[in-house]
Amino acid sequence: MKRIQTMKRRAQAGFTLIELMIVVAIIGILAAVALPAYQSYTKKAKISEVILAASACRTTITEVYQTHPTGGSAAAGNDWGCEVNTGDVAASAPSKYVLSVKTDANGIVTVKTTANQFGDATLDNKELTLTPYSDIALTTPMVTPNDWGKQVAGWKCLATTIPQTFVPGSCK
């Protein structure tokens, strides 16, 4: 009887080598699937920062369009008051992933990404534009001074040089 109890204790002493190998294999498979998904997620988060950098300009341009008197003089490019680092100098970049925020006379906001920060050549030193539109269908872009006094109905995000897999849903 004593011998049976001793055998039971030995049998329950730990895991076998095959059980440990199965666990390691499962962890390896999960890591192989999760790692690329995580890398894609982090790149999307970085591009979201690029879109966020244009938000101050979106607000400013929307307000100027709506409150500007009809027939007034148009703003010049980079003269809306929300631009950052229009000289494209990395030392004075507004953030780690945004090199510059520029505008044109019609209120189109262009955000340029920094070089060598994304770890992906398809995202480094690329541009993303936000364009104000006067209709909800986003078919008629705002054109100063014809649209002074009108409400900006929406903004269209164009990331023509950035792969769509990394562009957040708010920009598709």
pLDDT in tens, 87-106: 777 777 788 899 999 999 88
Which stretches of the chain are assigned E, i.e. beta strand? 98-103, 109-113, 127-133, 154-158
Q: Output the pLDDT for position 72.
A: 64
- For residues 58 and 131, what is the distance between their CA atoms, to the nearest angstrom? 9
- For residues 47 and 37, what is the distance between their CA atoms, to the nearest angstrom? 16
Q: What number of residues does the chain have?
A: 172
Q: Assign 9 a pLDDT band (cuts: 50, 70, 90).
A: low
pTM for this prediction? 0.77
CATH 3.40.50.2000 fits domain 13-171: no
Q: Where are the domains of the chain?
A: 13-171
DSSP per residue, 115-150:
SSSSS-TTTTT-EEEEEEESSTTS-SB--TTTTTT-
